Chains A and B, each alone.
Chain A
Amino acid sequence: MMNFADLVQIVWENLRAHRLRAVLTTIGIAIGIAGVIAVVAVGQGGQAVIISEIEKMGSSLYFDISPDYMRGETADSNTFSIEDPTIIKELSPAVDKMAAITLGPMVDVRLPSSDKKTIMASLYGTNPDLIHIMNLSLEKGRFITDLDVTSHSRVVVIDAGLAEDLFPKEDPLGKKIFVQDTPLTVVGVLEKAPSSMMDMFNVRSLYSPITQAQDMLNTKVINQLCGTAVSEEALPQAISDSIKILESRHSSVSNHYVGTTLEEQLEMVGKVTSILTTVIGAVAGIALLVGGVGVMNIMLVAVTERTREIGLLKALGARRRDIMQQFLGEAVALCLLGGLIGMVVGIGGAFAIALAAHWPPLISVWTVLLAIGFSVIIGIFFGLYPASRAASLSPAEALRHL
């Protein structure tokens, strides 16, 4: 009876003789396993995003208004105006709070004293209502005021992470920081958000009066409006009112607006996630099937090529089970090799998708175990037939084979 260590050695010595063949055979399995890992990661990542969004906003009253991206429209300086939120609130009884947002690119933030150490953060130019709409709370100081907005005040509210980065020991209130080389005074610090999975990204945010932010970013574009309705029932009304008002106020240009609720946004994420997992899952399934058949094929070729050798092994005293083990071992080893390659590629792919989709890359021990387990099962499944064919050869006949 062969022990496991001997089996591994013999399998390795046999596969080593055909390195290129082994690697090529495993490509299908590798793609399949990479796909399986990506599916798991995408599924978990999408779910994490939904959960963290719910945690963060915690509001079913939220909605936002954007240019109709589906028609290829993007925000320009005529899409929204700074006065829109106030006017919509006045005209629609369904709308409770409303804020305009000018979202800058990632900006450089640094202390006046050091010009080396800069921190990247996303800059929100907005007005006072945002704190309520986004469900933010202040740890100290104050948020942006209407006066800040009208007077282009050079003030900024920073999040807890940024406060820790910039002022680990001091009180940030009243301190000056440079944002894109404009000095701003810190007037408020936000509380640490309830820990969400998005924290892994460590994205820092800061908030300035929208007028001031536009000056700094040298733009007149407002990217979107967001707000809350007075009640859940009023949500559709709030959205349609907002759109109607916007259309009449910006009729000089033909703008189309869409309103989205938080629920719809999450549905979108869910839909995209499930499409992605279905597509990748299907590709992975096909690849695993094709890969498995490839392994089976190469093992059948090996059995034919080595018929004489099998006869010899039997002459030396190999039993059915020994031959079976040896060939099954080779099939499993091939699939494991593919599985390992696929695991590396899959984990890389999961990271890439996570980066592109802005969700945390979730690779767990389970993913790795899944990949290994799957490879072994495929190896056994597709190796069984060739191995049993090898094992059932009669020794004399096999030895006569040329």
Chain B
Amino acid sequence: MIRVNGLTKVYGSGDAAVHALRGVDLEIPEGDFVAIMGPSGSGKSTFLSILGCLERPSSGDYYLDGRDVNSLEDDELADLRNKKLGFVFQSFNLLPRHNVLRNVEMPLIYAGVPSDERRKRAQELLEQVGLGHRLTHKPAELSGGEQQRVAIARALANNPLVIFADEPTGNLDTKSSLEIMEIFQQMHRAGRTIVLVTHEPDIAAYARRVIHFRDGKIVREETK
């Protein structure tokens, strides 16, 4: 479902040029659970954000769900992110001025889902992550683990094909990390494709495949 060939990313130019990715080839079939590991600065986040259509590669091909991503317009990419992709970040990235319900509704608003249907869907998702009773709270009133669960509910709002998670447990204690990974595990079992970046082997152990990055390249891969 995801296929990249010879993917490179260069930031800046001339002497200041940074080669974040130096030719990455990878295929991820539907329903796969992939963990990406590697030293800091090896290009993991860059790779994830290209897969997530948040930025474009400098060169190389990217096919997602049969579509040539490089050929899509900005608005088409936005639509793709909205309906097919979900994101979970290390720092949760919830909207601080809106309550939990609104945070989860946001992708549904951009998708043009009518308000009562939207509300129902957001409520369901929040119940699934165990936060059905915190709908009107602001993100700052929640613990880190709870915030990340809201972020997961939000990522699932439009029932996306793939979830991209960049160090989702990086800011959490062990207990919350385990809770979050339980949710990822469930999503995987339900057949959703997951691509997750992590530094921790314990977390990577949940994945079916572990891919190791170094200097902008894949250097090793393990499959369970």
What is the distance, in angstroms, from B181's C-beta to the closest C-beta of chain A? Answer: 22
The residue in chain A whose Cβ has the minimal distance to the Cβ of B157 is A316
Q: Which of A200-208, A278-286, A317-325 interfaces with chain B? A: A317-325
State whether A396 touches B81 (Cβ < 8 A).
no
What is the distance, in angstroms, from B54's C-beta to the closest C-beta of chain A? Answer: 4
State whether B95 touches A312 (Cβ < 8 A).
yes
- Compute the total of residue contacts between A and B using a CB distance below 8 Å: 79
Residues of B within 8 A of A16 (CB): 97
State whether B55 touches A396 (Cβ < 8 A).
yes
What is the distance, in angstroms, from A260's C-beta to the closest C-beta of chain B? Answer: 63
A14, A308, A316 interface centre (most CB from chain B within 10 Å) = A316
Count, chain B residues at interface, CB 8 A: 28
Q: A314-B78, A394-B55, A396-B55 are contacts. A319–B97 as well, Cβ < 8 Å?
A: no
Binary flags per residue of A273-315, CB closer than 8 Å to B gives 1, else 0? 0000000000000000000000000000000000011011111
Q: Is A5 an interface residue (CB 8 A)?
A: yes
Chain A, 1-59, CB within 8 A of any chain B CB: 1-3, 5-6, 10, 13-14, 16-17
Residues of A within 8 A of B79 (CB): 317, 319
Q: How far is the CA of A227 from the CA of B77 in the complex (A)?
A: 85
Binary flags per residue of A358-402, CB closer than 8 Å to B gives 1, else 0? 000000000000000000000000000000000000111101000
State whether B75 touches A317 (Cβ < 8 A).
no
The A interface is mostly helix, strand or loop, or mixed, namely helix
Q: How far is the CA of A396 from the CA of B52 in the complex (A)?
A: 10
State whether A314 touches B81 (Cβ < 8 A).
yes
Q: Is B83 an interface residue (CB 8 A)?
A: yes
Q: How far is the CA of A308 from the CA of B115 in the complex (A)?
A: 26
State whether B110 touches A308 (Cβ < 8 A).
no
A3, A14, A309, A317 interface centre (most CB from chain B within 10 Å) = A317
Q: How far is the CA of A241 from the CA of B102 in the complex (A)?
A: 84
Residues of A within 8 A of B75 (CB): 319-321
Q: Is B172 an interface residue (CB 8 A)?
A: no
Q: How far is the CA of A49 from the CA of B96 in the complex (A)?
A: 56
Q: A312-B95, A317-B110, A319-B79 are contacts. A399–B74 as well, Cβ < 8 Å?
A: no
B54, B98, B107 interface centre (most CB from chain A within 10 Å) = B54
The residue in chain B whose Cβ has the minimal distance to the Cβ of A312 is B93
The residue in chain B whose Cβ has the minimal distance to the Cβ of A14 is B97
Binary flags per residue of B137-181, CB closer than 8 Å to A gives 1, else 0? 000000000000000001000100000000000000000000000
Q: Is B49 an interface residue (CB 8 A)?
A: yes
State whether A316 touches B82 (Cβ < 8 A).
yes
What is the distance, in angstroms, from B10's C-beta to the closest C-beta of chain A? Answer: 14
State whether A309 touches B115 (Cβ < 8 A).
no
Chain B, 79-129, CB within 8 A of any chain A CB: 79, 81-83, 87, 89, 93, 95-98, 102, 106-107, 109-112, 115
Residues of B within 8 A of A395 (CB): 54-55, 81
Q: List 8 A–B pairs whose Cβ atoms lie within 8 Å, in order of A's numbering.
A: A10-B98, A16-B97, A309-B93, A312-B89, A317-B110, A321-B75, A396-B55, A399-B49
Binding site for A on B (CB under 8 A): 49, 52, 54-55, 74-75, 78-79, 81-83, 87, 89, 93, 95-98, 102, 106-107, 109-112, 115, 154, 158
Q: A308-B93, A316-B81, A319-B78 are in contact. List 20 more A-B contacts (CB 8 A).
A: A5-B115, A6-B109, A14-B97, A16-B97, A309-B96, A312-B89, A312-B93, A316-B82, A316-B106, A316-B154, A317-B107, A317-B111, A318-B110, A319-B74, A319-B79, A320-B75, A320-B78, A394-B55, A396-B54, A397-B55
